[in-house]
Amino acid sequence: MPSKLDIILTLDNIDFIISVMPHQFLPPLLKKIRNIVDPSCRGISLIKGMDFDEVNKRPVLISQSIENIMSEDRSTKFSCGVLMGANVADEVAKMQICESTLASDFENVDGVDINERTRLIFHSPTFRVQHVKDVAGAEVSGALKNVIALGAGMIDGLDHLGGNTKAALLRVGLKEMISFCRVFFEGVRQDTFLESCGMADLITTCYGGRNRKCAEEYTRRRAMGLNRHWSTHDCESLWKQVETELLNGQKLQGTLACKEAYMVIDSRGLLDSFPLISVIYDIAFRGAPVDRIVDGIMVNEVHRSHL
């Protein structure tokens, strides 16, 4: 475990920070380093999740939380972008060709395009990076696609549903991701969802990745219980068991993101406007029958609330 001195020596005068860690551990660390780094320092977050403002009942971007904490007691504002995309980790490690999206809106410095300079830090022959300025659209997509992937895994675990049902889930899921962004954040661009951080990441995550895999296993183990009543405690315990046995120390992101997204839409009375996210939550944490996943897909869109 690095000591405070190790952190100081490592970060002294650096001008670029990449955040890749569970976001609940960020605030204490950032408070330690914000006065150590160079005043011109900027950041990129690879963290997939959301914070929640309980007073205003709104989601808060992790990148915005990083900016707020890092800007305290500093003469200059700290700016943070995100890197999100269809990047299953083991395939990236094998140097298989993939894409990602850098979302940032850094100011130019002395005529230098800092967004492009940042993009080139990540870009390589096998890791292709495009740039957009829509941080909110890219970041929220990175969090919510893991929620939709839970639904995809549930379909896979049921066996009697196939590719057509899964395709319908992806379509409805993408629409709910876009609606969520538009309801809670300004300046979200429609074309962001056609980038790697949007549709491509959603497809990849719903056909591979840990969230889909664990949700499939969660569904199969639920089926072993037949007509057993599943309490919230039972569901939580099963997720933890599946995570421990399947992920070799890695952590599920979709279950936490599902709770965060549900809390946001429930607090604003918008559950009827997000039927897929709502039913995924009910199955995952309230013990609703897994077959109900189709309820989130088959809602008559004429009757959806207009967002």
- Per-residue CA distances from 246 to 101, 282, 299 (Å): 28, 23, 33
- Whole-model pTM? 0.89
Place of tokens 């967002």: 307
How many angstroms separate the CA atoms of 85 and 103, rounded?
Answer: 10
Is residue 50 within 8 Å of 82, Cβ to Cβ? no
Question: What residue type is assigned to position 186 of the chain?
Answer: E
Region for 45 from its dihedrals, namely left if φ exceeds 0, alpha if ψ lies in -120 to 50, beta otherwise: beta
Which structural domains are found in the chain, ordered by start?
A: 4-135 (3.40.50.720), 136-302 (1.10.1040.10)
How many angstroms separate the CA atoms of 305 and 189, rounded?
Answer: 21
Query: pLDDT tens-digit profile of 13-40?
Result: 678 889 988 777 788 888 888 877 877 8
pLDDT given at position 143: 93
Is residue 151 within 8 Å of 280, Cβ to Cβ? yes
Query: pLDDT tens-digit profile of 57-88?
Result: 789 999 999 999 998 877 778 999 999 999 88
The catalytic residue positions are 145
| Phi, psi (deg, nearest 5) at residue 124 | -150, 170
Query: pLDDT tens-digit profile of 242-299?
Result: 999 999 888 888 999 999 899 999 999 999 999 999 999 999 999 999 999 999 998 7
Q: How far is CA 214 from the centre of its chain?
A: 16
Q: Is 99 exposed, middle or buried (0-12, 13-18, 19+ CB in 10 A)?
A: middle
- Cα angle, residue 81 at apex, residues 75 and 85 outer, rounded to 5°: 170
